[in-house]
Amino acid sequence: MLADVTMKPVTGARITLEGNMSHAGMVPIFSDAKEVAPGRYQANLDFAMAGDWVILSHITLATGQKIEDKLNLKGVRPN
Amino acid sequence: MPVIGAFLRWRHARTLLQVPLLVLSVVMVLHGLFGPELAPKNLATTLTWLHFRGLLVLVILAAGNFFCLACPFMLVRNAARKIAKPWLSWPRALRNKWLSIALLVAVLFVYELFDLWASPWWTAWLIIGYFLAVLIVDSIFKHAVFCKFVCPIGQFNFVASTLSPLEVKVRDQRVCTGCHTKECIRGERENAPDLVVVQRGCELALFQPRKAGNMDCTFCLDCVHACPHDNVGIESRLPASELMVDPLRSGVGYFSHRKDLAALTLVFTLGALLNAFGMVSPAYALENWLGNLLNIKQEAPVLGIIFVLFLVVEPLLLLGVATWVTRAWTGISHGWMPLMVRYSYALVPLGFAMWLAHYGFHFLTGLYSFVPVTQSALAGMGWPILGEPRWSWTGLSLRAVQPIELGLLILGLAGSLFLVHRFSEEDCQAHPMRAFVPWASVCVLLWLGSMWLMFQPMEMRATLIGG
């Protein structure tokens, strides 16, 4: 969910998710998010390996402004 | 060797190799301290844990200890020695490998405990710490004490390079017999009252006519440059040949008398399995199980237990049983310790194969990763001259690399079995198989362990038990 400081949904943004492991040299994974509802963006990531991942969100707003965000995702396990 | 030979005989060849690595070290430290915190996007972690480690083992396999030749730490140390000369001799009690073994184990331990591979900042501080350690030790103590008795990377290189196809050695022993000035070890001094050294001799106390093999040789080529007869060079040889014989080696002694060297080879071999084990799923399962069993929430004690199991209990068990069976079955009169020491050296090919498989894997699968990291680093400084970082550029696929790993492990087993065969034929000429079987079993067991590790799912975690 992407919202501004007044909690109003931010629409029309382009979001690319980049997943990296904590060890250098592992293949990163990428996915483009789709806006499924105003301000709600959804993407699928196919984790290539178990372990700890760091998900980087590369966000470009409709105004052209760029934002980067980071999420630590620990303990990914296989299905 | 055309071109390369002439270059290496040039007295400034080493400096020319060291300078780029020094510049690279500075870049890695700066990027590690001030660049992105994410390991795959930082030159400190990428170049250290992928490229440096991988190239190190591959160059040693293909050629020799050229990383010690190009060591940037020595460049800084030599510059410092122009300002102040060291004045102390290294304590006699420390003139062995025990301190460096402890440091090697400490580096492996700290690597796992603090997840150095995931931390550009800590990796940078490791590099800085290394520079400081070299400066402190070699500013106080004379000769190449840091290389010979302290440096963990150096000890790793010494053991690994016993399998290298190249060796620094004398070309013609008859020339050495007629030489009375012995510049290869004494160095060359000015013909003046203050006897200023114009060319060092071997600072690791390896007297060329009696030097045998690559143990303790940093390929610094001081002996090559010092020899007035041009009688020392880099020569080819059969890999592992130095492990098959036990002459009195200058600066080293007899391998069979060196319990510390044997211990170093065991840490080298079993440390390879331990270091690889730290990256697979069963390692985390074991740590959690141990933590629950012993009601310990902190990682350090649990990791310590695993280190003791791999580096103390495992070799005592494997080598102890093999020694007992050998003595009982063959009736040979060798004592327990001499037998264990002797056959420890036979494990080096297996250990090196595991390091090659592991570090080679990371190097090959992350081969191109320095490209987008460099692109990003330059763009971050306002110089996007290399374009947008291509983050999908990593390296070879797992499918391409696994057969290489498998081949290396098989070669390693073959090498160790060959050494065991040589030793057992010498030790028990009447019934060599009785000496061969127990030690070959140790090799096969360790090899099976390596193969099992290779096929375990990798799991990179930057945190373990205790959060």
- Boundary-marking domain end, from B254, B271, B291: B254
Looking at the fold, whether B244 and B344 belong to one and the same domain comes out as no
Q: What are phi and psi of B312, to 5 degrees?
A: -120, -60
Opening angle at CA B180, ends B179 and B182, nearest 5: 80
Domain-embedded: residue A6: no
Pairing of the two strands A66-76 and A50-60: antiparallel
Q: Nearest 10 degrees: CA dihedral of B161, B163, B168, B174?
A: 150
Question: pLDDT digits over B325-344, tens only?
Answer: 999 999 888 899 999 999 99
How far from B154 is each of A27, B69, B207, B310, CA to CA, in Å?
31, 11, 19, 22
Of B84, B103, B85, the C-alpha closest to B94 is B103
Domain-embedded: residue A7: no
Mean pLDDT, rounded, of chain B: 93
**DSSP conformation letters of B373-428:** HHHHHHHHTT--TT-S--TT---S-HHHHHHHHHHHHHHHHHHHHHHHHHHHHHH-
Contact A50 B392 (CB under 8 A): no
Of B404, B411, B253, the C-alpha closest to B341 is B253
Q: What are phi and psi of B57, to 5 degrees?
A: -70, -35
ipTM above 0.95, yes or no: no
Domain-embedded: residue B464: no
Question: Most distant CA pair in chain B: distance in Å?
Answer: 74
Long-range residue pairs from B135-140, CB within 8 A, at least 24 positions apart, any chain: B135/B76, B135/B77, B135/B80, B138/B77, B138/B80, B138/B81, B138/B86, B139/B77, B139/B80, B139/B81, B139/B84, B139/B86, B140/B86, B140/B87, B140/B88
Chain A residues 9-68 with a CB less than 8 Å from chain B = 18, 20-28, 30, 49-52, 54, 56
Domain encompassing residue A69? 14-76
Tell me how far apart the terminal alpha carbons of chain B are, to the nearest angstrom.
55
Looking at the fold, whether B250 and B263 belong to one and the same domain comes out as no
Q: Are B377 and B31 in contact (CB under 8 A)?
A: yes
- Boundary-marking domain end, from B254, B286, B301: B254
Compute the nearest-CA separation of A77 from chain B (Å).
9
The helices-and-strands tally (H runs, E runs) of chain A is 0, 6
Say how many domains are in chain B. Answer: 2
- Boundary-marking domain end, from B254, B270, B293: B254
Instruction: Indicate the residue of A22, A25, A50 with minimum beta-carbon distance to B369.
Output: A25
HEC letters along B243-311? HHCCCCECCCECHHHCHHHHHHHHHHHHHHHHHHHCCEHHHHHHHHHHHHHHCCCCHHHHHHHHHHHHH
Domain-embedded: residue A5: no
Is the per-residue pLDDT at B367 higher than 60?
Answer: yes
Domain encompassing residue B414? 257-454
How far from A15 is each of A3, A47, A55, B372, CA to CA, in Å?
13, 18, 12, 21
Domain-embedded: residue B49: yes
Dihedral sign of CA atoms A42, A44, A50, A52 in order: negative
Average pLDDT over residues B45-72: 96
Question: pLDDT digits over A4-47, tens only?
Answer: 889 899 999 999 999 999 888 888 899 999 999 999 999 999 98
Contact A22 B41 (CB under 8 A): no
Looking at the fold, whether B63 and B206 belong to one and the same domain comes out as yes
Looking at the fold, whether B371 and B442 belong to one and the same domain comes out as yes
Q: Are B299 and B465 in contact (CB under 8 A)?
A: yes
Compute the nearest-CA separation of A52 from chain B (Å).
5
Q: Are B252 and B205 in contact (CB under 8 A)?
A: no
Looking at the fold, whether B298 and B164 belong to one and the same domain comes out as no
Domain-embedded: residue B460: no
pLDDT of residue B194: 63
Contacts of B460 in chain A (CB under 8 A): 21-23, 26, 49, 51-52
SS3 category, A74: strand
Looking at the fold, whether B147 and B289 belong to one and the same domain comes out as no
Q: In chain B, what percentage of residues exceed pLDDT 70?
A: 98
Contact A21 B392 (CB under 8 A): no
Domain-embedded: residue A23: yes
Question: pLDDT digits over B131-174, tens only?
Answer: 999 999 999 999 999 999 999 999 999 999 999 999 999 999 99
SS3 category, B234: strand
Q: CA nearest A20 in B: which residue?
A: B40
Contacts of A18 in chain B (CB under 8 A): 391
Is the per-residue pLDDT at B466 higher than 60?
Answer: no
Looking at the fold, whether B188 and B329 belong to one and the same domain comes out as no
Contact A24 B366 (CB under 8 A): yes
Report pTM: 0.93
Say how many domains are in chain A. Answer: 1
Question: pLDDT digits over B260-309, tens only?
Answer: 999 999 999 999 999 999 989 899 889 999 999 999 989 999 999 999 99
Looking at the fold, whether B199 and B236 belong to one and the same domain comes out as yes
Contacts of B41 in chain A (CB under 8 A): 20
**DSSP conformation letters of B65-100:** -HHHHT-HHHHHHHHHHHHS---BPPPGGG-SSHHH
| Residue of A16, A18, A20, A22 to mutate when probing chain B, most B C-beta within 10 A | A22
